[in-house]
A and B are shown apart, each in its own frame.
Chain A
Amino acid sequence: MSWLQRMAGEAPVPVYVARGIDASHDDLAALALDANIELVATPRHAAVLLVVGTVPAKFHDGLRRLHDQMPRPATTLWYRSRPLPEFDAPHTLSKTDRLAPTLTDLYRTLYGRTPQPVLLPDRPPAPWRGLGDYGQGGEGMMGGTPYGRPMAMTDDDLRDGLQLDALGFTLGPFFGPWAPGLLMHMSLQGDVVQRVSVQSPPFPQAPPTVFGAALRGAVPIADLELARARSHLFGLAHSLETAGLRSLALRTLAHAARLRPGVDIGLMRGWLRRCGLFASVPPGCGQLTRTQAIRIGGTAARAAGQPMDARLEDPAYRRLGFSVIVQDAGDCRARWRQWLGEIEQSLALADRAAGENVYTDQTEVVETPRGRWRRGAGIADASAVLEELLPGMEWSEAMATIASLDVAAGEPGEGGEP
């Protein structure tokens, strides 16, 4: 290896993360905060593809596509995941603490390895079948299948009825700004979303383990509330990242990493208000109706003025003086404000509960960051709401709305339910 390659290897590792089932937020947050790792937006910027968690067989082709889009030389690390059969000597890993060092090692020694194969056949995905001079299919300027794919055809427009070509595509299931596993077919007119259909809902997410434990027996309220605050901070960090405010997203993740009961996040509230996150969407963007809000539940419902909270049913919380925070607008801004308000409330509750050593007094039902979780019931998927919500939005608004909503189903993870 030349000294030039060694020097290049000292740079932060560009990693694209393909998240499968049970991709843990904590692992990814730790990775994002690591100075030696740079989580990039697309495989085109990446040298290492990190596959986290199990990938169901129906998404293997999507994963192959991602893998082949990385510029060579590139390598793949399978973290708690089963490698695709094409790999002869895959790099696998299951230990959390070795994740960042392994990625760095793989990157440093990238040039010494045998190059990774291209998994998909190297031939045009849609070969030329055109007839006319410009391959337009020989049917004038419209229609035809010049490169094996049909030409875009005019479609209805939601704004002013000016019908022009609609762009249709499926996005996901490894699209970074969305929940892992979410696969949607979208149709765009310019940058306005016309139609959305959910092809595959996001992978069920396990709430933090302490919430599962709360259904088995009494747990310290301080632990429960800290886990909730951390989860909301992850949500805010994700929204900031989606809005293009990466350094603030990292700052939020750093907050989440060193969260203690009673910490004052007033400073954070200040810079969140000034950073432009709230101004990045117009008021009323992603506004939920009452039924949609109830269907999603959790913070989204409370941000739309529904005082739904399972903590009200717990006498221990009532003794701590818990009251539900609600917003009335029900739009993206309200949801971000709701997260912020609930983080502050949770930290204050955790402080009080830790001082008095209070345990939960209700094991039938628990309020997870995602919503109400009754024993034996799980949390239902609500991704169908996106189909009603997104049409008519501009792309950036749609992205902000998806980032501000947690619609994945909730299922017991490791440890499970009683």
Chain B
Amino acid sequence: MDLLALLIVAVIALLMAWLLQRPSLRRPPLAPYPQRAPFLGGGTVDSHAWSRFHVRYYPMTLLLIAFEMEMMFMYPWAVVYVEEGIKALAEMGMFLAILSVGIVYGWRERVFRWQ
């Protein structure tokens, strides 16, 4: 008996789902082709819309890595800093000096200039 009730519920649910999502609702008739053409003030396109162009964020990612690596190693360093003392400070100084070369490089590559 329970199984029958469950079956009825399932059938009703499927029926309602079909009513809500029936193909004619999901795909309204498309506008005519001329209406779907891109607007170019009366002009036309030459080529297909599959066109690849460079997003040019490579220097930006380099900069992100430079800063992010710095932060990642500074957290554990801050935990042991009090125990290790001046030695930890010197090590972190060296590490930052190396990383800052990357930042200086990014600077030269005009990462900080918004374009």
Partner-B contacts on A (CB < 8 A): 18, 42-44, 59, 61-66, 68-71, 118-125, 136, 145-147, 149-153, 162, 164-176, 178, 183, 189-190
Contact = CB atoms under 8 A, between A and B. Distances in A.
B57 interface: no
Interface stretch (B19-27, B47-55, B72-80, B89-97): B47-55
Contacts, number: 113
A200 to B, nearest CB: 10
A164 B50 CA distance: 12
Contacts of A124: 33
Contacts of A165: 51-53
Contact of B33 (A66, A125, A167, A178): A125
A124 B34 CA distance: 8
B41 A123 contact: no
Nearest to A178: B41
Contacts of B33: 120-125
Given A150-B46, A169-B43, A169-B44, A65 B51 contact: no
Contacts of A164: 52-54
B43 A172 contact: yes
Contact of B42 (A136, A146, A147, A173): A173
Interface in B34-70: 34-35, 37, 39-48, 50-54, 56
What's the dominant secondary structure at chain A's contact region? loop
Given A149-B45, A170-B43, A69 B37 contact: yes
A171 B40 contact: yes
A189 B42 contact: no
B16 to A, nearest CB: 29
Nearest to A145: B48
Contacts of B35: 68-71, 118
Contacts of B41: 62, 66, 171-176, 178
Given A18-B42, A65-B42, 10 more contacts: A62-B42, A64-B34, A119-B34, A124-B33, A125-B33, A125-B34, A168-B45, A170-B46, A175-B40, A178-B41
A71 B31 CA distance: 8
A142 B85 CA distance: 60
